[in-house]
Amino acid sequence: MPDFPISWVRQSFPALNTDNFIFFDNGAGAQVPQNVMDAVQDHLLSRNVQRGGRYRRSLEVDAAIQRARESVAIFLNARESDEVAFGMNATSFIRLVSLALSETLGERREIVVTDLDHEANVATWLALQTRGAVIRWWKMRPDGTLHNEDLEPLLNSRTRLVACAVASNTLGSIVDVRQTASIAHAAGAEIFLDAVHYAPHGPIDVQDLDCDYLVCSGYKIFAPHMGFLYGKRRALEALPTFREDFIPDQIPFKIEVGTFVYENVAGMDAAVAYLEDLGSRVFPAGPGVSRRALLRRAMEAIREQEAALSTELLRRLSHSDGVTVYGIQEPAQVHLRVPTVCFNLRGIAPASVAAHCAENGVGVRDGNMYSPRLLERLGIPPATGAVRASMVHYNTFDEIDRFVNVLAQMSAG
């Protein structure tokens, strides 16, 4: 594979070139490339109107949304673009699906949730207990990930759904959700995947995963603040969603109730284009290469680049005095995680670590990472939590060096 074009990548993101600040809080939201900024500005300048009208600008909004829907469908390898719905964020989509499923539980009332997940993919399902749902817990093992052999005993003829993350937003652990889907379907259940944390880090193929539902947040994938939901056509068509009478009872319109932020959807379309451009640079090819092939090449290159970043950061932290790293750490298992590293410094509050990093030009996050149950399993008080450094493909080894030196100064001080 050609060398990863890190110089071109970093030049593509204006926020990386305004000062000497290090963005290691990408798990909370990534930066956007210039073409995304241009797409948002162009939309606001040229077609900042409501869709559904007969005049040119309104028709252009309809076309822009459809174009973005097709781009996201290709990014996910969905069967058709109508299986993609746009909205405000992943959490609102999880809630929409959960409320709809609560009306169709029947005899299948059991829902499996995990203590590895972001709370949005836990509490949303726990709320259905007031509607008759029965919750079964799929527990994380001490190695910081989920094991499918622990799931099988939880499933039976009453299981309606398994809800789990593709990757932990706290530990970075990747779950073998393809096998999870197979196990769930064998029991007659559906599977709901939270791909928010995984999506910027590797290829997604919803057909290969055979998932029934999947949510992402565009702002984690180098786009503005927005979210999208994928669902198999038959699954989405069966959802009894709220809609006004004038909204067609068909997908994706029955899912997209109300006005979402059109300019941010245009930005999502541009983010996919950025990834295609990256794919063409890491694997130069002649004409006729499909958009899907370019996207897969880009995400595979990102996975390889980020594996090297993860290995280096974990190596440096393992040699740092007083650092406790949680989750997968062995170099041979780096393919089982994304470059999100959760840790604590002995005797120093996580908030103090994050503040010291900020004072020295490094942005990290402290707290419970919206996964308090996971921290409790690790023996970490959720009230104080831990520190999380979350990288993406535009981060560098030099930034890792600076970051570790900041931690070393704090430990020594």
pLDDT at 284 over 90: no
Tell whether 26 and 45 lie within a shared domain. Answer: no
60 vs 287, which has greater pLDDT? 60
**8 Å CB contact between 33 and 274:** yes
- The angle subtended at Cα 197 by Cα 191 and Cα 198, nearest 5°, is 70
Tell whether 243 and 221 lie within a shared domain. Answer: yes
In which residue are the tokens 């040119």 written?
56
Tell whether 99 and 177 lie within a shared domain. Answer: yes
Tell whether 361 and 346 lie within a shared domain. Answer: yes
Tell whether 66 and 195 lie within a shared domain. Answer: yes
- Tens digit of pLDDT for each residue in 72-89? 999 999 999 999 999 999
pLDDT band at 189; cut points 50, 70, 90: very high
Count of domains for the chain = 2
Q: Is residue 156 part of a domain?
A: yes
Tell whether 63 and 22 lie within a shared domain. Answer: no
What is the predicted pLDDT for the residue at 2? 67
- When pLDDT is averaged across residues 367-391 and rounded to a whole number, the result is 96
- Tens digit of pLDDT for each residue in 347-376? 999 999 999 999 999 999 999 999 999 999
411 vs 164, which has greater pLDDT? 164
pLDDT at 134 over 70: yes
What is the predicted pLDDT for the residue at 286? 73
| CA distances (Å), origin 314, targets 16, 340, 379 | 23, 10, 21
Q: Is residue 277 part of a domain?
A: no
Paired sense of beta strands 227-231 and 365-367, if any? unpaired
pLDDT band at 244; cut points 50, 70, 90: confident
b/e 7-16 (16+ beta carbons within 10 angstroms → b) = eebeebbeeb
Q: Is residue 285 part of a domain?
A: no
Tell whether 249 and 386 lie within a shared domain. Answer: no
pLDDT at 48 over 60: yes
pLDDT at 287 over 90: no
pLDDT at 41 over 60: yes
Domain limits for position 305: 6-32+292-412
Q: What is the CATH number of the domain that holds 358?
A: 3.90.1150.10
**Cα–Cα distance, 2 to 393 (Å, whole number):** 15
pLDDT band at 6; cut points 50, 70, 90: very high
Tell whether 63 and 109 lie within a shared domain. Answer: yes
DSSP 169-180: TTT-BBP-HHHH
DSSP 265-309: HHHHHHHHHHHHHHHHHHS---TT--HHHHHHHHHHHHHHHHHHH
Query: Is 345 exposed, middle or buried, given 0-12, 13-18 or 19+ CB atoms closer than 10 A?
Result: buried
**8 Å CB contact between 49 and 389:** no
Tell whether 97 and 182 lie within a shared domain. Answer: yes
Q: Is residue 283 part of a domain?
A: no
Terminus-to-terminus CA distance in the chain, angstroms? Answer: 43
Nearby residues of 355 by Cβ (< 8 Å), 6 or more positions away: none
* Centroid of chain to Cα 315: 25
- When pLDDT is averaged across residues 187-196 and rounded to a whole number, the result is 98
- The angle subtended at Cα 363 by Cα 362 and Cα 366, nearest 5°, is 125
- Other beta carbons within 10 angstroms of residue 381's beta carbon come to 12
What is the predicted pLDDT for the residue at 131? 95
User: What average pLDDT does the structure give for the chain?
Assistant: 96
